[in-house]
């Protein structure tokens, strides 16, 4: 082992890594530069260290398992594609669409307002049939051509022979359609089978109201008889 007055081998070994990296000061570098040609051991150390740095620093040392790149690409694709696709879609929409400006919405808004206004006007000018009673609405399932009996003093129509006909003396036969147009409601006794289906869709309030009218009619009918 060579001993140098200015720099010994231990000092060289201690700094050899920094020397290879260019991390030593100018003065120390100069002394090491002088040392290496005179010391075969330190020169060998330097060559070996440089070889290590060079060999391991080579890209070929970074081996990846077979199929690594494909798997990585697939995973990135899976994670990034939906998000990328969605963003691209919205970007394309906002770029290509004329609706991005607020002023562009004025025309369709005006058109909708005009349409709604026209509908309101037509509605106002059109003749409307008088509203039918709640009970009349319940006769929807009664065949329109069915012959029913009505009488004075009651707005209820019946099938012929119903014992709840209000005033048998004034009874007359008309079609169910006509009866309902005239504001008559079906008798909840003799027309029961037609009313069941209709009532099922009515509210409890309507149902109660019909029952109330029915009871009232029954009382009147009984009183008349």
Q: Would you tell me which residues interact with other proteins (CB under 8 A)? A: 10, 13-14, 16-18, 20-21, 23, 40-41, 44-45, 47-65, 68-69, 71-73, 75-77, 79-81, 83-84, 87-88, 91
For residue 38, the minimal CB distance to other proteins (Å) is 15
For residue 33, the minimal CB distance to other proteins (Å) is 17
* Residue among 78 and 193 whose Cβ is closer to other proteins: 78
* Residue among 8 and 140 whose Cβ is closer to other proteins: 8
Contacts of 135 (CB under 8 A, 6+ apart): 185, 186, 209, 210, 213
Give me Rg for the CA atoms of the chain: 52
> Over 111-154, what HEC string results?
HHHHHHHHHHHHHHHCCCCCCCCHHHHHHHHCCCCCEEEECCCC
Q: Alpha-carbon distance 13 to 1, whole Å?
A: 12
For residue 1, the minimal CB distance to other proteins (Å) is 10
* Residue among 4 and 168 whose Cβ is closer to other proteins: 4
* Residue among 12 and 138 whose Cβ is closer to other proteins: 12
């Amino acid at each position: 082992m060579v001993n140098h007055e200015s720099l010994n081998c231990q000092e060289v070994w201690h700094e050899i890594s920094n020397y290879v990296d260019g991390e030593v000061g100018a003065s120390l570098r100069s002394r090491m530069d002088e040392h290496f040609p005179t010391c075969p051991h330190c020169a060998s150390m330097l060559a070996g260290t440089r070889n290590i740095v060079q060999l391991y620093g080579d890209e070929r040392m970074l081996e990846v398992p077979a199929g690594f790149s494909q798997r990585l690409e697939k995973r990135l694709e899976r994670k990034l594609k939906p998000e990328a696709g969605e963003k691209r879609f919205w970007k394309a929409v906002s770029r290509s669409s004329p609706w991005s400006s607020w002023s562009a919405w004025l025309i369709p808004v005006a058109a909708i307002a005009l349409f709604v206004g026209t509908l309101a006007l037509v509605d106002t000018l059109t003749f409307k049939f008088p509203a039918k009673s709640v009970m009349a609405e319940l006769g929807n399932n009664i065949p329109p051509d069915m012959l029913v009996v009505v009488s004075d003093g009651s707005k209820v129509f019946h099938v012929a022979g119903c014992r709840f006909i209000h005033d048998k003396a004034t009874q007359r036969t008309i079609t169910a359609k006509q009866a309902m147009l005239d504001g008559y409601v079906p008798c909840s006794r003799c027309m029961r089978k037609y009313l069941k289906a209709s009532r099922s869709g009515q509210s409890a309030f309507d149902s109660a109201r019909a029952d109330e009218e029915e009871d009232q009619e029954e009382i009147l009918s009984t009183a008349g008889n």
